[in-house]
Structure 1
């Protein structure tokens, strides 16, 4: 499969903090990759490097610029404007005329089940609605790759199911997904591949079935302890 991104020996420092250490990673178009590990292991940092928000201190990163990408954060930012305007603005900034951007934004809100709140102030939406708004904003740009940082971490069970269903739909339509998650059930449901991180290092990178059902301790004792709930 065509590589979307490839990292070789990537390090990242924040002053004295060594956030990523010798990361080697190749992600192909069409994959569904879950990045897991304890808090502070480097998941969010890795996603930001993949999205181009952070530049590696050392090593190389090659990305297929033909594949557009978007990112959804754990706590999405909403402008003090309508849900419709929050989505339309991204399209307008890309050069779409405002009226056409609003029409496309309305379609994107309908895609995530939010058409009925299109004219509401986005900052009055519930946590689940706000996360779906962020998904609509990303989806409206028609990215080939979607990165998500703990997309359901603060949501109630119903909202989690709604967001997971949208992620599954996007993947079924051919979108590449790379998402950080603490929810191992979610990882089993959505991922085809699991990347386990600890202290900025990738300690395991396996197909989802091999990660959860294979002799994981032979690959990474730390990952095995994490999956068994004894680490993290």
Structure 2
């Protein structure tokens, strides 16, 4: 299995009852790049992210991470290396600093400030209660919490949905910075222009199938998913 790919998905099928949610999905996620999954609601995008982190198991097909079947990875190690940031992340009651250290532990003030700055948050927010954050701030905090674990891959599920333009821009800038630093990003988005700004490659899911894939600027199919 080629090492230039973080993930390789081969003919994955996942069914729920009589419904085929993923239908022979094939996907390559290059290391150190941003790849986008595009499609309408219910097309299987979020389910595929869950398959990659073994939160859902396919009925048939194979998924490889760094050339090794995901079933052979210790699941906790896999999820440390591959962080899934949900569309509506759940934050614990407490301060911003406490949230950043969930799962990581032992982080000093300087490291916490660095992580907050990396996602476009003011380091001065460290002592604020998470309940007082705006939607955009909460989304960026969830991203910082994931980065505290120093993952190789970030799976971002509609990270700017329902955010104002300023917050969305801050998230996009953080994603671009992360990719430049070598982090692999798999981005789920329904925003065509965002995909073109951020992604090197895009795959369009329609009813659980990859209907098209290629450079975002060359995929006219993207317009049909907006």
Q: In structure 2, what is the equivalent of residue 20 of structure 1?
A: 22
Give 1:51 shift.
Answer: 2.4
Give the Cα–Cα distance (whole angstroms) in 2 for the partners of residues 138 and 42 of structure 1. 23
8 Å Cα contact 1:91/1:101 also seen in 2? no
Q: In structure 2, what is the equivalent of residue 110 of structure 1?
A: 117
Cα offsets for 1:108-167 (capped at 9, x unmatched): 123222311111111220000001101111112111111100000110011010110000
Q: In structure 1, what is the equivalent of residue 69 of structure 2?
A: none
Unaligned runs of 5+ in 2: 67-72
Secondary structure, aligned partner of 1:118:
helix
Which residues of 2 match residues 68-147 of structure 1 at below 5 A? 68-92=81-105, 98=106, 100=107, 103-112=110-119, 113-147=121-155
Cα offsets for 1:180-214 (capped at 9, x unmatched): 111111001000001000111111111223224xx
Q: TM-score, normalised by structure 2?
A: 0.87
Give the Cα–Cα distance (whole angstroms) in 1 for the partners of residues 59 and 131 of structure 2. 36
Q: 1:167 aligns with which of 162, 172, 175?
A: 175
Secondary structure, aligned partner of 1:169:
helix
Larger radius of gyration: 1
| Segment drifting more, 106-115 vs 170-179 | 106-115
Give 1:14 shift.
Answer: 2.1
Q: TM-score, normalised by structure 1?
A: 0.85
The alignment yields a C-alpha RMSD, in angstroms, of 1.9
Give the Cα–Cα distance (whole angstroms) in 2 for the partners of residues 192 and 150 of structure 1. 17
Q: 1:197 aligns with which of 196, 205, 218?
A: 205
Give the Cα–Cα distance (whole angstroms) in 1 for the partners of residues 112 and 14 of structure 2. 36
Give the Cα–Cα distance (whole angstroms) in 2 for the partners of residues 111 and 62 of structure 1. 29
Give 1:105 shift.
Answer: 2.8
Secondary structure, aligned partner of 2:169:
helix
